Amino acid sequence: MSALILDKRQLAPEITWMEVVAPRIQKRWRAGQFIIIRPLEHSERIPLTIVGSNAERQSITMVIQAVGKTTREAVSLEPGDSLCDVVGPLGEPAEICAGERVLCMAGGVGVAELLPVARAYKEAGNTVVALCGARSDSYRILDAELRACCDEVHWATDDGSYGFHGNVVQLLLSLAGPGSFAEGHVIGPIPMMKAAAEATRGWGLKLHASLNPIMIDGTGMCGGCRVTVGGQVRFACVDGPCFDAHEVDFDEMARRNRAYRDLEQIALQHDCKLGLR
């Protein structure tokens, strides 16, 4: 169904927060689940994590990083406009343990996607340590929201303009080691999730990774989102999107996510020629 946009905020360069009316999804969603949107009548279908919701306004919120054609179309819409299609909540909720010291790790726009999981961990009575990565200080997002639900929040920036100078996995290694955490959750670019999985192998840490393969229907119908986990083929849209990070074949997933890179460039250039942006 179409969804009216209530509010929109720029969190960082190219990262937009958006609130839309979606009463049914607001009532049912759980941390870790996502929606599929089509911003305009003729847009592609793209998945986005549900970041939060507001019962009074019957709304859900999402955070969108404008990377290609469809995400740019989405963030070009204004309050008062509507997203053409929003369907959800999709996927299985994240597995949330109780009474543990948990690690929450994210990079880039993943920080937004991590927020509901961190909240759920906190509500279940865990001690939550968040490690977040950003390119530089101006790309840090949702810091206050995260601090409100975490016991500790640490930042790493690539250029050292805030917090730890380096990437978030280096930050992790500087702060923790085997036995530091019982469980954890990681969301971000594939190389970062892979590095986090490698770094924590043998730590006795159960690490969940929220995967972001290319999706079309999001209902288990096409098989396009398939990923290999522990040697088995799984459909991320219905079996996931969260899987055991230590079991995921990240290299295969990275390859599959690059499948249309050349064609995506053509799509963008085609738009430029038409003067759409």
- Which residues form the interface with other proteins (CB under 8 A)? 1, 24-25, 28, 38, 42-45, 69-70, 84-90, 216-217, 219-224, 226, 228, 233, 238, 252, 255-256, 258-260, 263-264, 266-267, 270
Binders of ligand FAD among 107-126, rule CB under 6 A? 109, 112-113
Candidates 1, 67, 148, 233; binder of ligand FAD (CB under 6 A) is 67
Helical ranges in 31-151 per DSSP H: 69-75, 110-123, 143-149
The answer to whether the CB of 20 falls within 8 A of the CB of 6 is yes
Lookup: tokens for 100 = 């543990």
Figure out which of the listed residues 18, 46, 142, 205 binds ligand FAD, where binding follows CB under 6 A: 46
Q: Please report whether residue 48 would count as binding ligand FAD according to CB under 6 A.
A: yes
Q: Which option in other proteins, ligand FES, ligand FAD, none does residue 16 bind, with CB closer than 5 to 8 A by kind? A: none
Q: Report the nearest approach of other proteins to the CB of residue 170 (Å).
A: 28
Site string for ligand FAD, 201-230 (x = CB under 6 A): -----------xxxx---------------
| Residue 63 binding ligand FAD, by CB under 6 A | yes
Specify whether the CB–CB gap between 217 and 236 falls below 8 A. no
Sequence-ordered strand ranges (E) for 176-239: 183-187, 206-210, 226-229, 232-235
**Across-strand partners of 210?**
242
Sole window of 20-28, 39-47, 159-167, 243-251 interacting with ligand FAD (rule: CB under 6 A) = 39-47
- Measured CA to CA, the distance from residue 38 to residue 24 in angstroms comes to 18
Instruction: Residue 228: name its binding partner from ligand FAD, ligand FES, other proteins, none (Cβ under 5 to 8 Å by kind).
Output: other proteins
Which candidate, 225, 253, 255, 265, places its Cα nearest to that of 241? 225
Distance CA 88, CA 26 (A): 10
